Structure 1
Amino acid sequence: MQNKRQIYADRIVVKVGTSTLIHHNSKINSSVIKQLAKVLSTLKKDGKDVVLVSSGAIGVGMGVLGLDQRPVKISKQQAVAAVGQAELMQIYNEAFHEYDMSVAQMLITKDIIDYPESHTNVMNSFQELLSMDNTIPIVNENDTVTVSELDHHTKFGDNDQLSAIVTNLVDADLLIMLSDIDGFYSANPNKVPDAKLIGTIGEIAPEIVAAAGGHGTKFGTGGMTTKLKAAQRILKHNQQMVLTNGKDPEIIFNILAGEPVGTLFSKNI
C-alpha cells in the first residue's frame, strides 16, 4: 500500500466533467450533484476556499431539448449551451441551498488572460466571492460567445484547460479533476486490460504523452490529452493536481486526507 500523500490545500479548485454529471441517457446525475454540493459546502464551512469549474452546459441542454447527438454547427452548440447553462445553474442552486450555501455563476472567456483589464476585473470578482462565507463560485466557459473555429482568441478549448487556468488565477493549492476514469493509466484501460494506474507523476514526459489519447463522451469534448495539458500548466506553476473518478464526490475528502487515490501530479514527490 502506498504511503499517505502530503496534501496541503487551503484553496481548492474542483473540476467536474460532463461524463460525471450526465448519464448516458442524457439525464442529469442528480445524486452526484447533491453529493458534490454536500462535500464542497462542508469544505467551505471548514474554512477552505473553494471554486467549482463545471462542464455540462451543452450536455444538459441536449437533455432538455431532447437531442441524441451533440450538434456540429457552432451556432447550434451555442444555443444548446445557453439552454443548458440556465438549467444547470438552477440544479446547482437547489443542491447547494440544502446546505445553506449560495452559488455564483462566472462565465468567462480567454480574454481574462490576454487583456489586463479583463484579468483585473475577473480577479476582483474572484477575491470578493472567495471572501464570502456562504458562497461558492461556479465557473464555466461562456460558450454562447466563444467559437472553436480557427482557434478563436476568446476560447479556452476545453474545461480541463479552463480549470487549470482558474487554479493559476486564484493561486489555489490544488486542482481536483473529477472524471469518469480512476486516474492516469499506462495505457487506455478500456482497450488494454493490464494497464496500470500511475499513482504519481512529477513531469509530463514523452512516454506519459504517448500513453494518452482519445476523446470523451458524446456530451463532452475532453480526453486524457487535455487533462495532461492541464496538468502541465499546474506543474509549471508549482501547484498540485489530482485526477480521479468523480462518481462519488466524497472521494475529495480522501484526497485531502492524503489517501493515495487517483493520480497525483506534483513536483514535490
Structure 2
Amino acid sequence: MSAITQANRIVVKVGTSTLTYENGKMNLRRMERLCKVLSDLQNSGKEIILVTSGAIGVGVGKLGLPGRPQETGKRQAVAAVGQCELMFMYDKFFGEYNLTTAQVLLTGDVLVNEHLRKNTENTFMELLKLGIIPVVNENDTVAVDELEGARIGDNDTLSAVVARLVNADLLVILTDIDGLYDDNPMKDPEAKRIPFVPEVTGDILALAGGSVSNRGTGGMSTKVRAAANVNRAGIVCCVMSGAVPEKLYDLFEGAQIGTVFGTG
C-alpha cells in the first residue's frame, strides 16, 4: 500500500451517481464534503486533479427533463447547461478553502494528436505549479460518436487518459459501489469484495459486469479497463465508494478500502 500512502500527484474521478440524487439534482452536501477533503489533501502537499462526470445529469436536473436525452444534439445542449452549473459549484466549494479551480475540457483528439497532447500536458503542469486544481471533463458539447477518434466515451477512460498525461502516482475512481466483487452485490448478498487485483485478466474483466446506475455512462467494466490502462503505465488505481468522501483520508493512511489494482 506504500504506493498509495506515498502518492503525491493524484487523479480523482467522481461519477454522476456520486454527485447527483436519483432525480438528477445535484447532491450538494456530498459535493461540498468531497471538495473539502480534496482541498485538505491539496493543502497537505499533494497535487489533486479532479475528473468529474455529471454535466449531462446536472443539466437534466436543471432543465427538469424526465431523463437523459437520446438525440445527440439535445444531449450536447443539456451537457452545455450542466457543465456551467457543475463548474459554478466546484468553483464555489473549492473557493471556500481559498483554492482556485481551472476548467479543462478534453476530447479524444489528445489520444491521436501528438501536438495537442503535448500542449495539454504543459497546461496541466503549469496549473499544478500554480497550486490550481484542474477540474476535467470530456467536452460533451463537441465530442460526437460519429467522428472517429474524437470521443473518449466515458469518464473512467478519461480519468485514465489524464492520469497518464500528468504521470500521476495514483488514480482514485469514486463510484456508487465500494469496489469489485466476486459476484453482483446488488443480486447476491453473499458477494465478497475483492480487496486487491495485482493484474487485470480476462477473468477479472468478466466479473466487472455492467452499470448499476441510469445516470452515468460507465459501469464497473469501464472502471476495471481504466485501472488496467493506468497499471500498464505503472500507476496504481483504487476503485472505491464516493458516498463518504472522508474515507479518502483512511485510504491515504493505509486502510484497505475499495479494490486496489496494480502494485499498491
TM range (shorter): over 0.9
Residue 38 of structure 1 corresponds to 36
CA distance, structure 1, for counterparts of residue 32 and residue 58 of structure 2: 16
1:180 counterpart = 2:170: no
CA distance, structure 1, for counterparts of residue 225 and residue 201 of structure 2: 12
Shift of 1:98: 0.7
1:193 counterpart = 2:189: yes
1:1-269 equivalences in 2 (<5 Å): 5-6=1-2, 7=4, 8-133=6-131, 135-149=132-146, 152-268=148-264
Does the 8 Å CA contact 1:130/1:136 hold for their aligned counterparts?
Answer: yes
Code of the aligned partner of 1:104: A
CA distance, structure 2, for counterparts of residue 18 and residue 216 of structure 1: 12
Percent of aligned pairs sharing the same letter? 48
Does the 8 Å CA contact 1:203/1:232 hold for their aligned counterparts?
Answer: yes
Matched position secondary structure for 1:197: coil
Does the 8 Å CA contact 1:216/1:222 hold for their aligned counterparts?
Answer: no
Shift of 1:25: 1.7
Code of the aligned partner of 2:135: I
Shift of 1:126: 0.3
CA distance, structure 1, for counterparts of residue 126 and residue 76 of structure 2: 29
Shift of 1:229: 0.8
Matched position secondary structure for 2:190: coil
Matched position secondary structure for 2:67: coil
Shift of 1:206: 2.0
Matched position secondary structure for 1:93: helix
Shift of 1:36: 1.2
Shift of 1:37: 1.1
CA distance, structure 1, for counterparts of residue 185 and residue 233 of structure 2: 30
Q: TM-score, normalised by structure 1?
A: 0.95
Paired residues, number = 262
Q: TM-score, normalised by structure 2?
A: 0.96
Code of the aligned partner of 1:132: L
CA distance, structure 2, for counterparts of residue 208 and residue 123 of structure 1: 31
Shift of 1:95: 0.6
Shift of 1:216: 4.2
Deviation readout 1:91-139 (Å, 9 max, x if unpaired): 1111111101111000011111211111111111101100013x20000
Which segment drifts farther, 25-34 or 156-165?
25-34
Matched position secondary structure for 1:259: coil
Code of the aligned partner of 1:86: C
Does the 8 Å CA contact 1:235/1:266 hold for their aligned counterparts?
Answer: yes
CA distance, structure 2, for counterparts of residue 29 and residue 194 of structure 1: 30
Code of the aligned partner of 2:84: A
Shift of 1:215: 2.1
Code of the aligned partner of 2:181: Y
- Structure 1 gaps of 5+ residues are none
- Structure 2 gaps of 5+ residues are none
C-alpha RMSD over aligned residues: 1.1
